[in-house]
Chains A and B, each alone.
Chain A
Amino acid sequence: MNELAEFNSLNPKQLEALDKAAGWSLNAAELAEVQRQFRKTDRQPTRGELETIAQTWSEHCKHKTFSGPVAYRDGPRTKKYKNLFKETIVKATKTLNRSWCLSVFKDNAGIVEFGKDGKWGLAFKAETHNHPCAVEPYGGAETGVGGVIRDILGVGLGAKPVLNTDTLCFGRLDRKYRLPKNALGPERVMRGVVEGVRDYGNRIGIPTAAGGIYFDDGYLLNPLVYVGCAGLIPVDKIKKSVVPGDLIVSIGGRTGRDGIHGATFSSANIEEETGSSAVQIGHAVNEKKALDVLMRARDLGLYNAVTDCGAGGFSSAIGELGSETGARVRLEKALLKDTRIEPWEIWVSESQERMILSVPKSKLKRLAALLGAENCEYCVLGEFPGDGRLLVTHGDALVVDVPMAFLHGGVPNLEKPAVKRSVKVSGKTPVAPKDFGKALEALLAHPNVCSRHSIITQYDHEVQGGTVGKPLQGRFGDGPGDAAVIWPQTATLDLKDYSGFAVGHGFAPAVGRLDPYQMALHSIDEAVRNLLAAGADVSRVAILDNFCAASPRDPEVMGDLVQAAEGCLDAALAYGAPFISGKDSFYNQSRDADGKEYPIPLSLLISATAPVEDVRRTVTINFKEAGNPVYLAGVSLRGMGGSVYNELADTGNNAVAGLDMKAAVKLYAALARAMKAGCVAAAHDVSQGGLAVTLAEMAFSGGLGAELDLSAAVREKGLTVTELLFGESPARLVLEVTKERETEFLKIVKGLPAAEIGYVKEEPELSAAEGGGQLFSACIEKLKTCWKKELI
């Protein structure tokens, strides 16, 4: 690349061409800033320096869009943000200032207190791996899982992973599309992603026990793959600091040419020619070796700091660890998969399963012995000198020599325009189906409602023996669980302590198309409700935000993001649930063969966790005993906007039900007390498909029917039967209350919107009436057959 020799004198057009050829995804202002920096030093940059800057300043590493300044226009009003992320997500956490938040927004994952004795922290993180999965679904998903596990291994001095999560979004499988050359169809993508999640999680021995799958045309060319991991860490191992003089030690996998430019790839839309260089290949067994070494070395105090090699490879990991001390790196020491690799490629390669440790010289021998015992390869790449300078060489050749201050603080951040999108909303009376029973059957078979058993059963959700709240529940082990409940005894090694934690999710992109602010509220509410339904302590909820969006160059996309971020702030404050970590992914937008744009809808995944005091009291969704009363808690509101039913039949109503957060929090606190008192035999949130689907799932999961009269259900004035049965207004749960404790239950929920709507019965029939008129009566086996179709 000859232009490099004249970099400092290139004009903007030439810079742009060079950027495109090199695949850096730097914008004009960033390229100009780099040029300015090197003109000051009176020398041309090396390829390694430019690669390092591109990685460090990439969307993936710096989150420039969310952390940057935004001017948001809503009609005549303009609101300015200096840093959207800090003024919304971080602000919520700072305002709440929870003492049980042990580490937030400063490490590879968030950490909250876990258990009774204050000895443990629970680390939790979710990531996206969208672009790699669009190109190579299997490898992309594998390395996504491997990467987020390494985030947990690299938080503090290392946490032991005890749970994997996966939430996946694909194009509809039941539609015909004309795809561009090289694009993979949604079924091919789904199959590959599922196999990747399965193989990595199963091979490394971490249960994959929570998540979901969502289908929408918007994800046709840009599938979303959210992967998460939770792990336990001793509280005294949370703090880490690189000590000047420490050695830089890389353990785990070798370095190869795979995955060059993964980080900068995330700053670009996927184009037809996107090639295999961005593909990464996972090796779960290598990561397991690194995991085993790390846990032992951590407890023996053999290193002062650790982080994972993720996007950007050594460049990002060593740059991050040495951001204050500087780093002196000798790349010729790196263990390589392939000798045909340029020095700068070693520096930025995203080869997987590598962790970087900061090791005192005196402890290297003991660490090496542990690594040898686990057959885990390592190399000493250099040291952290304490002079604040990043100096990378390969033999006599200079690869990088830049001040850390420029690398981490030099990125120019331009204000992005954002504008509120106008959406036509109709609140007219929704058209009712001719047959409520048939509509229920169709809803149960809808891809966004039907069973995920053919995917879930491929994952090992039992490994480690601590999955108490399972993804498939009920009498036959095939009902849809609301949240995973984990008893992490493999980490605590205390079989007498039944403390656990629950993990649930909230995801409502269909609502986001109409109202991004309400989408954030609904998503947080759904995640909290899922935790509540499993019996978790919802006064101690911690949440992660994972935003995925189309190109932020579109002011309307930015407008949606601003509204959703404001929703996150408001909901987090109302629910008392701080954000502890998060990530964002932009540029999820592509064209099909006809030139039609496929931007994804703004997609916010809320992952939430809360403690479960005693995992033996975990609540599941299935009806348990004939004769028990069934209650609907929460107010059913008007509006079919964002509902699955509206996809099946256009009701003419697309109004989104607004969430009353204050009322929801009050209701959930009472329900949590009722659950703790043992009043609740089963609980299930009302979400996709609405109340009728919730009731059907509880019935067929328990193999019991129910006789229901919905007349008593608490509702907004003017609510229609269609809205009651199939609307998806938030903050509602169905509860099966234990007959013997019904009086106690009623005392607890007195004055709150919780109404008895029927009872569980032995006969396998789900019947619902309203005001004397029968709405539907259906055999639960038939309903289950509609629901239980094979996705794969």
Chain B
Amino acid sequence: MIIEIRTREKYSENEETGFIGRMAHAGLKVKAARLSRLYRVEADFGRAEFDRLGAELLTDPVTETYSLGRPKAGIKGWRVEVWLKDSVTDVVGESVKGVISDVLGKEPKTVRFGRAYYVACDSELKLKRAVAGTLVNETVNKFGIEKI
């Protein structure tokens, strides 16, 4: 299960502006963007338990919302997902795994931490180039782009 956390729209301007600026610096004109944190939790938990993790553990309820699976994109363009490669130790994932065990009393198999970027722009190729040049280091990261 992937739990996706987003900043509520009324608080998200700063992070989106920063992201658009970075992309512009990498030669990509971005019209609009939304950013998310991703937690891939591999566990035999029920939906109610994943909901509890999203609501009580991983989200700041004042400024953020969560969804199990993908939220509505709200943007026409591409969705970029960035993860650490499976062979790379994910310390955020490890910490979250420990806390999940404290909250639910049972330990998930693995937790991995990633990020998603919803990007409205004209060119997938340019987007790919900009992502490779700014958001990921292919020594340790893997990423994927899909049309939304």
Contact = CB atoms under 8 A, between A and B. Distances in A.
Interface of A: 135-139, 182, 184-185, 187-188, 191-192, 256, 258, 275-276, 279, 281-285, 337
B17 to A, nearest CB: 12
B133 A185 contact: yes
Contacts of B140: 136, 139, 276, 279
Contacts of B134: 187-188, 191
A281 B88 contact: yes
23 contacts: A136-B137, A136-B139, A136-B140, A137-B137, A182-B139, A185-B133, A187-B25, A191-B134, A256-B89, A258-B89, A275-B139, A276-B88, A276-B140, A279-B88, A279-B140, A281-B88, A281-B89, A281-B91, A282-B91, A283-B91, A283-B94, A285-B91, A285-B95
A283 B95 CA distance: 9
A135 B139 contact: yes
A284 B140 CA distance: 19
A136 B139 CA distance: 7
Interface string B74-118: 000000000001011101001100000000000000000000000
Contact of B133 (A137, A188, A256, A284): A188
Contacts of A136: 137, 139-140
Contacts of B91: 281-285
A155 to B, nearest CB: 25
Contacts, number: 41
Contacts of A184: 137
A188 B135 CA distance: 8
A283 B91 CA distance: 6
Interface residues of B, number: 14
Contacts of A258: 88-89
Contacts of B95: 285
Interface in B109-142: 133-134, 137-140
Which 9 A-B pairs have CB atoms at the shortest separation, nearest pair first? A281-B89, A283-B91, A276-B139, A136-B139, A136-B140, A136-B137, A285-B95, A135-B139, A258-B89
Nearest to A189: B137
A754 B138 CA distance: 56
Contacts of A256: 89
A287 to B, nearest CB: 11
A400 B4 CA distance: 48
Given A256-B89, A276-B140, A279-B139, 19 more contacts: A136-B139, A185-B133, A187-B25, A187-B134, A188-B133, A188-B134, A188-B137, A191-B134, A192-B137, A276-B87, A276-B139, A279-B88, A279-B140, A281-B88, A282-B91, A284-B91, A285-B91, A285-B95, A337-B89
Contacts of A282: 91
Nearest to A184: B137
A580 B89 CA distance: 35
Contacts of B133: 185, 188
A184 B136 CA distance: 10
Contacts of A139: 140
B109 to A, nearest CB: 15
B18 to A, nearest CB: 9
Contacts of A137: 137
A191 B91 CA distance: 19
A743 to B, nearest CB: 52
Contacts of A285: 91, 95
Contacts of A192: 137
A282 B90 CA distance: 9
B139 A283 contact: no
Nearest to B89: A281
Nearest to B134: A188
A9 to B, nearest CB: 36
A191 B137 CA distance: 12
B137 A283 contact: no
Contacts of A135: 139
B94 to A, nearest CB: 7
A191 B21 CA distance: 14
A185 B136 CA distance: 12
Nearest to A254: B89
A64 B124 CA distance: 50
A484 to B, nearest CB: 27
A612 B89 CA distance: 42
A546 B72 CA distance: 52
